[in-house]
A and B are shown apart, each in its own frame.
Chain A
């Protein structure tokens, strides 16, 4: 690695560099080439730029599924009557539940503690009798595993849905049609099948871009400071603008290739609808990438130490992109202070514009405010890096 840097430096002939000029294309090209070679020579940066995006998309596509398919629940029948059997049959017939019958209540409760089932239903011994009796109410007991709040809610709402249908059907069979006075009819806009994957995948591209833009750059640039090759560069006729651009251009290219790869895989392999245009994607993607590159460069220029830079990038760029960008966790559900903090995070604007581009289309009215904020953060972070580099040089 050392030798390659030296030989590239020797390749930039100082005589043709044009002394005090602000920017020399020749020098910039040579520096960018050096940077590109460094990226491709290290297996770990190739791993991060090409393998990681595919792995993450795959995980977000198959592993992070918020739509429940079949939950295991227990059923204890203490009543042998026909009404109880009819209700049990309705439960077993639900496509959302996998019902396991238990002979003893104790065994069923143990299964709930051991997470083998996520809830259970008990039909008491007098269920059928109370149903027949006028004025009596036959209870159905449902217990859900509260240690998993989402699952518990799903168990309760699914069982009560089955129970409601069963009641309507039973009333119909007895010739006393029962209707619900008010019924809510849901319509899902933008994502009619309401698949969580369709909004999680466009959002997850944000996390991938952050890893390439902030984490990888912070490590690479910090290493140059740590090893002293940055000082060697600073002692050469290279100007500050050239230095900054030589770090931005190759990683911008790498990030854009990854972005295109992600969008292609998301659309053609994972079948997420893409309703926007590539032009809008390019504009939004460029600004976001530049602002995370700015964060990565500012961190590494400020820290100069790989271990610290990596930790800082993890805490300042990666974690906020996962937790505070709104791609899984809804921003409006956060406390006001945290909601305020999310406005400072570029990932937030990228998540919302990616979701718009993928699911709603290129609607400039929605995209322009996000783009303006992204452009603002780009200027702030790249400006900060320029300032830090200047201080380092003095």
Chain B
């Protein structure tokens, strides 16, 4: 009982120091609002509003029809007509156009004669990813056009592809981004709270007072962990609500599984945060330490680029990255209604990561206390 009441008063003190100032409260909410408003629009690999330069030397019907189809597809909002190869060069060089299409003079004649005609497409390699995505849009528009031409000419198609997307049928990017954001913003919030709380006390000299109090290092750690877990849950819930009610992302899975996973994730983060603060002397060191952990962990979580694209040894190495597992948990539960078994397979690495870091932090604190 004494144990519980001591921890209780410590936790109360931690919450007070976290929420006592107006700027402290602002810092827990403002970044969440800012990032939830900004990320889904900015951090997208979708290609929209791209501009296409068209160098058309042919005025036959097929050329005009094909161009109309390109212009009608949503990806290109601006079609820049150009009249020479030099102008194509300028449009791409100055980044005016992402792609340029060159239709040769004999295009319509060849097509009508039943021959095949090439159409050159120039991609801006400085933005090769967007350019390739835009190119694949062109390709699928062209496929549709060719299919319609074949049907109009009465030619039979022996085989066809019927493609569908599961979970997010229209591939809306916001459905992919918001669940990942739940994981990422929570990471920033609870990690910085834990990493800085000990360092601030140490810089102000109050940490020594805590150590000479009847509290054991483990109890101090629990006292520091509870507010951080609470901050994580609070921020995650905010984004979850925004995702479902503002961005209309359908929540398909079980809330219990999501929050269960979140509990173990927050513990793993607290472990990392406490470990960083146990080895730093000042707030600056704790903050930069948290930063050096956080940026790579978020970048390698599969949010920016899929884990599958990494070299195999790096894929194996991401096992120690808690963000990667939790991004999968949130996306799985949110979009795919992941099963208990699947969530468990992602959560047990978090338990291992948390245990290792909490143990290391406890050892470091014990050594400092002794």
Interface residues of A, Cβ cutoff 8 Å to B: 42-45, 47-48, 51-52, 55-56, 59-60, 62-72, 112-115, 118, 131, 134-135, 137-153, 156-157, 159-160, 163, 167, 179-192, 194-196, 198-199, 211, 215-216, 219-220, 223, 306-308, 310-311, 314-315, 319, 323-324, 328-330, 332-335, 338, 352, 355-356, 359-360, 363, 365-366
Is A149 in contact with B159, judged by CB distance below 8 angstroms?
no
Is B167 in contact with A146, judged by CB distance below 8 angstroms?
yes
Which residue of B is nearest A186, CB measured? Answer: B121
Using Cβ atoms and an 8 Å threshold, which residues of chain A touch B138? Answer: 184
Using Cβ atoms and an 8 Å threshold, which residues of chain B touch A113? Answer: 332, 336-339, 342
Which residue of B is nearest A152, CB measured? Answer: B165
Using Cβ atoms and an 8 Å threshold, which residues of chain A touch B171? Answer: 146, 149, 152-153
A314–B143 alpha-carbon span in the complex (Å): 45
Is A182 in contact with B142, judged by CB distance below 8 angstroms?
yes
Using Cβ atoms and an 8 Å threshold, which residues of chain B touch A335? Answer: 41
Is A181 in contact with B284, judged by CB distance below 8 angstroms?
no
A311 with B314: in contact, given A187-B120, A190-B126 (CB under 8 Å)? no
Is A220 in contact with B284, judged by CB distance below 8 angstroms?
yes
Per-residue 0/1 for B27-50: is the Cβ within 8 Å of any A Cβ (1 yes, 0 no)? 100110011001101111111111
B308 at the interface (CB under 8 A from A): yes
Is A332 in contact with B41, judged by CB distance below 8 angstroms?
no
Judged by DSSP, the binding face of B is helix
Using Cβ atoms and an 8 Å threshold, which residues of chain A touch B130? Answer: 330, 333
B214 at the interface (CB under 8 A from A): no
Interface stretch, picked from B6-14, B111-119, B205-213, B217-225, is B111-119
Distance (whole angstroms) from the CB of A147 to the closest CB of chain B: 4
Is A151 in contact with B306, judged by CB distance below 8 angstroms?
yes
Using Cβ atoms and an 8 Å threshold, which residues of chain A touch B116? Answer: 179-183
A338–B176 alpha-carbon span in the complex (Å): 20
Is A196 in contact with B129, judged by CB distance below 8 angstroms?
yes
If A113-B342, A140-B161, A306-B284 are given as contacts, then 13 extra A-B residue pairs at C-beta distance below 8 Å, sorted by A number, are A65-B310, A112-B166, A137-B159, A139-B160, A146-B165, A148-B176, A151-B308, A185-B120, A196-B128, A215-B291, A307-B287, A329-B43, A334-B42
A138–B49 alpha-carbon span in the complex (Å): 37
Using Cβ atoms and an 8 Å threshold, which residues of chain A touch B49? Answer: 332-333
Using Cβ atoms and an 8 Å threshold, which residues of chain A touch B121? Answer: 184-187
A148–B339 alpha-carbon span in the complex (Å): 19
- Partner among A51, A138, A185, A189 whose Cβ is within 8 Å of the Cβ of B158: A138
What 8 pairs across the A-B complex have the smallest Cβ distances? A191-B125, A146-B165, A146-B168, A190-B125, A44-B285, A65-B309, A149-B171, A142-B163
Using Cβ atoms and an 8 Å threshold, which residues of chain A touch B176? Answer: 147-149
A278–B9 alpha-carbon span in the complex (Å): 60
A188–B121 alpha-carbon span in the complex (Å): 8
A315–B188 alpha-carbon span in the complex (Å): 12
A selection of 12 A-B contacts at a CB cut-off of 8 Å is A66-B309, A118-B308, A139-B162, A140-B160, A184-B139, A186-B135, A223-B284, A307-B283, A329-B42, A355-B126, A356-B126, A365-B94
Using Cβ atoms and an 8 Å threshold, which residues of chain B touch A72? Answer: 308
Is A114 in contact with B159, judged by CB distance below 8 angstroms?
no
Using Cβ atoms and an 8 Å threshold, which residues of chain A touch B173? Answer: 149
A319–B49 alpha-carbon span in the complex (Å): 23
Is A63 in contact with B300, judged by CB distance below 8 angstroms?
yes
Is A47 in contact with B122, judged by CB distance below 8 angstroms?
no
Is B111 in contact with A66, judged by CB distance below 8 angstroms?
no
Is B125 in contact with A185, judged by CB distance below 8 angstroms?
no
Using Cβ atoms and an 8 Å threshold, which residues of chain B touch A149? Answer: 45-46, 168, 171-173, 176
A148–B114 alpha-carbon span in the complex (Å): 40
Using Cβ atoms and an 8 Å threshold, which residues of chain B touch A142? Answer: 161-164
- Partner among A45, A138, A184, A324 whose Cβ is within 8 Å of the Cβ of B119: A184
Which residue of A is nearest B145, CB measured? Answer: A182
Per-residue 0/1 for B53-73: is the Cβ within 8 Å of any A Cβ (1 yes, 0 no)? 000000000100010000000
Is B305 in contact with A64, judged by CB distance below 8 angstroms?
yes
A144–B168 alpha-carbon span in the complex (Å): 10
A186–B136 alpha-carbon span in the complex (Å): 10
Is A182 in contact with B117, judged by CB distance below 8 angstroms?
yes
Using Cβ atoms and an 8 Å threshold, which residues of chain B touch A114? Answer: 332, 338-339, 342
Using Cβ atoms and an 8 Å threshold, which residues of chain A touch B367? Answer: none
A184 with B135: in contact, given A44-B288, A311-B27 (CB under 8 Å)? yes
Using Cβ atoms and an 8 Å threshold, which residues of chain B touch A52? Answer: 292
A211–B288 alpha-carbon span in the complex (Å): 10
Using Cβ atoms and an 8 Å threshold, which residues of chain B touch A56? Answer: 295-296
Using Cβ atoms and an 8 Å threshold, which residues of chain A touch B126? Answer: 190-191, 199, 355-356, 359-360
